[in-house]
Structure 1
Amino acid sequence: MAPSTTSAAFSLDEDLEEAALPFTVPDPMDELFSEVSVRDRESINYVSAETWKSFRIAQAKSKSGPQDLSMFPAMQLDIVLEILGYLHPLELLQVSRANKAFRELLYAPITDLTWRNSFLVENDRDSPDTDSANPDSSPYQIPLCPPHMSGRRWARLLFGPQICQECGQSGAEVEHLLFRFACFPCLEKNLEDVVPGYPVNHEIHTALHRTYHGVGSDDDLDPERGRFWRTDGLAVVAQYEASLVDGGAEAALRFIEERRELVSKRCDVAMKCDSWAWETRTKHRKDYSKKYDGVGKSVMKRLISEGFDERDVEAFYYVSDCDVLYRMPRLTSKLWHRARPYVVPRILQAQTERLARERAVRVERRKQLILAAALMALRTPVPGLRHGYYPPPHTIDTFPPLAQLIQEDLDEPPTHHDPRLVAALAEAPSFVDAWVVETQKLLVSLLPDAPPEPGLSDADFSLLERATSVFRTRRHSPRIVYTVIGWDQARAHLHCFHQPPEWRLPGDGLVEFNSRGSAVAAELAVLLGLDPKTVTAAEMDATEVRFVCGVCPPESHGRRRPLTWRDCVEHGGSNAASHGPPSWIVLSPLAAADVRRREEPDDYSHAHVWSCTLCNDYLPSLGYHKDVKEHIVLKHAIAQPIEGEHLIHFKGPESPRRRRVFLSAEGAHPARFRCNRCTQAAPQVVKLFPRRAIQAHVQDRHLVDLSDDDWTEVELLMLPVTAG
């Protein structure tokens, strides 16, 4: 297949053109390639370009000027060869293209030594990595020509254009192990794993040059995993078979040993070539990176001198993003006038974005201060309890007077004594009350027996006090679901501080009626002999009854976890889908009394719900009990802060920490015995023991001989009822 020619419309970058690159004209040499134009950017061998540029720069710095070459064609051949011996391989390639006579001369076998000696020329004398005492130690020293290859072909392999020798497509990389340029499709088409007709473990496979292209990482290279070029492998097999026929097994073995030594030497040469190419390309990238930085700094100086803000100018990081400046060595006035129409719009865009960010920061600072002042003024402590309520911040910041203050673009936020802020906060309670009424209407409308909305009254709002008014609320995402009962809990959940915009408004799917939880509450009311249509949550709380789930299996040693009716609603409303409708077992009055004795009050000390009542440092974000208490001691000089007076926690969806209480109702040692002597002394205290524990208690506590009259066996569980 003949290589395709490429149009010269693609121009090389200025640096490479200034270096007078080779291979920029149609190449008449057909040893490796047919005639092809190398103006295609993908075919440029940047290792060759960087080597040529470094060599030419070193020559330009020398003091010797151009000489008259008019007598050169008339010189004797040995003198011409002596002169050519001082040339760089890239210069020899250029000379071979000068005319037909030089081409024939440098193609002749007599010049092979000249080609080989050309690789001894140092291609970067000024490199800081070059050791003056040992120039060959430079990482940029050209790899010497191996003995089994002609110098001219070696020069083409190192410095030739990146054009596939098989299909002629550009962009092919050199495979030093195979001594050829090949594109990826041709590699996949011509590489083989095993020689046809020979088993995998045959010694012939160790005598082939293999590449590791596409067989894994360099850290896991196995010589037997590499692949060989098909035609090269067939040639080696032919030589092996010929030596086997001519000299027998010994000759074939010697051939294999010689091939292995040759393969080892080729691998060493390939490694040196890869290292040289990598170092050369790395130097190429470093040099251009320095130029990019210099051009970028020049652009920034120009923009700052024109009056642009330095903060906006620093946003213009990548000079390569501007096609006009791409790969330019320096910024001239002419180049700047060409690039300015492309650069200035980006600076103006950076300026717009910076101003928007700064305004957003100022608005957010004003919002936090105004919101903290509003929450401090509008918070509602609950009489007789140690918690309070905040009005929803996402509702307060939509209050028009406060929203107007928040959106003002001023450098400094308003103070707490700002007249407009004081006036706005005076009107805010009515706004919050309106939100309360609106939200209550919404919750009532979600109930299955809700009356028509236009005629809602206070009596209709009382429906939210029923035990069966159970709702499901979401916070932060649809996957985080809470079960709440009545207006009291719903109100606490709906004013979450950090709700994202898509979950803020109740009408947008934040709240929905929990029919399963409502059915569980109705079943529990019937079980207690109450009317599920009228019983309130407060009345259910007053019963102080405890239940256990009859579907959940007991834990170790027959222990079961007692639940309040609210726990049952949450448990049945969220877990029924996983284990079916639960059946509830009521604890006997004595068992419930023993459970209540061991229950601890809700502990919110480890919840992020606390705020200082003396200042707004913890508004609108709340803090932990320990941190707020320390704040009061240090800032307000109160040695012993009092909950409810100096600090208070605000009701929300955060669950309090509570030690789990269990009842040993089953197993080998159920706790079903009560001490009669303790009952006479304190009848209001109920404490149940297992059989062995009650015997030890009577003997140790009361110091009497054991008797069956000293304890009473009580029933722990009543009959189960299945939730409908």
Structure 2
Amino acid sequence: MKKQHRMFWQKERTNRTTLTYFPLTSLPLDAGLEVVCQVLGFLHPMDLFAVAQVSRLMRAIILNRKIARDVWRNAYRRHPDLPAPPSTISEPRWTFLCFGPDICSMCGDRGATPFFAFSKKYCLDCSGDFTALPANIKDAAGKHLGIRDPVWDLLPYERTLTGFRYHIPDVESVLKKLTLMQILIDHKVKSLTAIFNTDKSLLLARASERKKCSLKALRWRATFIGLASSEQRIALRVASDKIFELLCGLGYRPWDINQARLERLLEGSRVHNLKAIKRGPELRDRGSSRPDGIVTGPRDVIGHLKKQYRLSCRMNRWRISHIKSFKLPDLSTDIGLIVFEFLHPIDLYHLGLTSKRTRGIILNKSLCSPVWKKAYKRHPDVPAPPRSIPEPRWTQLLYGPDICMVCGRNGAKSLFSFLKRYCPTCEGNLIIRTDELQNHLGAEVRLQNIVLPLLPHENYVWGNGHQKLHDISDVRTMMRKVAVVQVLIDRRVTKLSHIFAGDQKVLKERVAGIDKSSVPAKSLLSEHGEQAYIEFCVFAEFAVQRCSKWLTGMGYKPWAIDAYNLDKVLRSARVRKATLRVFHRLLPEIQQSAIYTDPRDIYTRKRLLTGMYAYYEHHPDGAWTVLPHSDLTVKVFLENHYDESMELEDMERLFPKVIATTAQDEKLRFANLLPNHLMGATSSGEDQICKVDLAAATFSCVGCHRREDRGVQIGWKAICLHMRNYGRDARGNCLKYSFNDKVSYYASLIVSLSGLDPCTASDDDMDQRNDRFICGVCRPSRRHRVSFLPTYTWFDMLLHLWHGHCRKLLWRRGEGFIPSFHLLSPATKDFVVDHESIQFRDKWHIWRCNKCHAHDSHWVSWPEIRSHTLTKHLIDEPEIGKDIVRMKHAPIQSRHCRVKLRVEPDLDCVCLKCPEPWRRTLFTEEVVLRHLRSNHAVSSPSKDVDWIKIKIVQATYPSNLPFSNIRIV
């Protein structure tokens, strides 16, 4: 909820850049309190709740009943989308239930759930203690209350999945009052009868009001829970895709990674963000080796940390520009320690490297130990060290250089459990797995050994397996100590047993503290490592583009440049910013590794021709939409036109002609598959080729069995897109097509119903008409005693007939079964299109990149395509149609929202006074007149001025059908 509200105000802020802002505390609170209350009345209740936590003064104003009561009520009136509180609960208390932290009202634990009917927040344990089902509640005598007991009507309840839950303290208090009143009435206290009836009516009204308000609040909260769950599913998919890219960057082959199993692993671990995933031995095998040129490690992470912190300091420098600077050595030690308490731990660490005197002060335990502790408390985002580890040592592990503590090489990794930093070589020599441990006698150590729980360990995960890593020196030292102590205990040195048990307890607590602190530290480094890797990939992509541009300027052809090997050369040289000086220094290695000079084998020739094909299909305007798969053209060229004596220049000159010829031959081959009634009297090849783009020319992919479209393609552009999209993942499977006469028959019916000739109307003509249809076979859905039917475009109508009624079309074709569908009138079509446009969602997967083939086999949403163009192509604002492409014939339920149209008799009137067309609805004539009088204050509505009567259905196929699923004309 807070995220949605924050995103809303971020959008509003861009629309109000011309306004001048002022701090709220600058208003004269003593003289202008009414002005402050008027300003606060325009805020959202969530904002009022946040403002109350700013200072004590604002909290006293906002929570004052006399002053701020009208403020809260105006805030809820101006935001009718929020559930209003009942009269017996104050607005601040209700706002705390809606937007406050999930803290239990009794025990203070996190994860509490609001109970709106009781005005409380309870965790799972407290909800079981203070709330109960009616069957579990007993009276003072220990008897169960009946279902029809009158006490239930006097008490509010909360709806849950298990049933209606009542508040136990409320039940007990009401039962005591009722029992006492009944005893007094039985003793003939006549004046209490009227009081009893009045209290009973008040309790009944209070309970009913709370039930109604709590039901609205629960429904409102359920909408946000649904949005949060959908965002978690999207985040889970994004996280799995990022991990897939990270594993590919680590050197794994894409076909060796089980992405479905990876998603199940993340879902089982409740991981929806890469911030909670530790990179390291958990994501890769211990014995795997990285390929050449991949530079991703702790060195990049530390550099990224320093850069981000330096940039944030530069951004905040203007805020303190008015403060006079001073030299730090001029301060006395006491004042300097007070100043050091406000610094970040990384600042304290860097300050200790400036001079010996400062280092002696900062690393002095007696002087700076409180300073380090306060610095960590002031920055809770930095994981604090355990008790047994000093803060300077912990800070050095977090932010220190990646230098190995054994050999002094760079590229070392921090092992927080051992308080060491080892390079990969020293880690393999000094770290050992549990199954490889041996005692001082050379025997294998069992898992139940008394020594292992006393030593810190690092977790090592691979697949479904799990192992613990230990430091060899720690294991051997502890083994010897425990062996000596055990020998002395066996020699009946009784005092040592108690001392040994105490030492074991202390060591186990130390190991538990180290494990607890090392987990957030690893998560922090993993988060910064992810950001560093993304930044490194963006810079590497930019460096590859610049070097490719310079190579093209030197005379090399674009298709002769191998981008993969070029990126490999730049990464192996640790190039972060491509300059001409670096380019000329690496030019001999680039020419040797990343340039196709003499394609000798068949694999090199195919890669060269495929790159040439990709360059050709993207640079001519619109060429990518009318070209088949590259494998088809490359195969034709190598089999029919290539000769061993052919030079590279001859291949480059001849291959574009082969591309154009192959495209025309392939299109002519598809035209020969068309039946005679669609071909007509065409004689020339150009006329036959144009027939492929007919709306009734439906083809099916022989090897494609995808659920979305079952291989049904209409038009040459859709066929070419299907070839390239699915053929890249399974080459050769989507290159064979056949004419689908069944789907073509129903497509011809749809085109004829729209008023066009099936022998001449193309798919572009049908898209330009943009007609809407409703199915005449489906039964209408009922809701609120009104019938509804979904609307379709012409392509969606065809797919609906093919999918939804496929069995009927195939099985009952010989029995005379004929499907029915209705064409909506132009006025009704405009009515439907208005409702479709407002319900468009950014999360629909209908976009693909036009700069590369990253999304050819799967379409993505708008945020994903924006992120792709920014990180891969450095385009902040992609242009639709040039940089990114929106799918024209996407599957059903992904291209547009299917509006459900009311199909009841006399529902054909539309109000013209409603300002937004997408909010208009269909009325009967009586209801629309009443609507105009009550909602728009029109005393005498006139037809065609205030309201119109439209025709819903324009035409129906078949026209002589004896039955129909709708009752409108």
TM-score computed with the length of structure 2 as normaliser: 0.30
**Which of 1 and 2 has greater Rg?**
1
Larger RCO (CA within 8 A; separation ≥ 6): 1
Q: Using structure 1 for the length normalisation, give the TM-score.
A: 0.39
